[in-house]
Amino acid sequence: MIIKVLGPGCRSCVTLERVTREAVEALGINATVEKVEDYQSIASYGLMRTPALVIDERVIFAGRVPSPKQVRKIITAANAGLTDTP
């Protein structure tokens, strides 16, 4: 699983990256977490707002930072192969 946190480095982007890395570690799953700060790369996903979370090239959400519990739930669902993540 490849998880990307998209954002230029604002406080919300840093928080989402931290929460995502903590969730992956707590869940003990095999995933790579990447931070994407390049504006062209972010725009290639069709996003107008950051931070955003992308799992296996699928945009899960943008423009907000969910709670750590919600991030764990999203990653767990994606890891299980469920397509309807919140």
Q: What is the mean pLDDT of the chain?
A: 92
Instruction: Please indicate whether residue 70 is annotated as part of the active site.
Output: no
Round to whole Å and give the CA distance between 21 and 26.
9
| Domains in the chain: boundaries | 2-79
| Active-site residue, selected from the candidate residues 1, 2, 10, 82 | 10
Q: Which helix (H) or strand (E) holds 32?
A: strand 32-36
Please say whether the beta carbons of 23 and 68 come within 8 A.
Answer: yes
Torsions phi, psi for 18 (to 5 deg): -60, -50
Q: Is the pLDDT of residue 86 over 60?
A: no
Distances (CA, A) of 51 to 8, 28, 73: 8, 24, 18
Q: Are the C-beta atoms of 77 and 23 separated by less than 8 Å?
A: no
* 13 given a catalytic annotation: yes
Among the listed residues 5, 13, 19, 55, the single catalytic one is: 13
pLDDT tens, residue by residue, 11-27: 999 999 999 999 999 99
pTM here?
Answer: 0.89
Domain 2-79 has CATH 3.40.30.10: yes
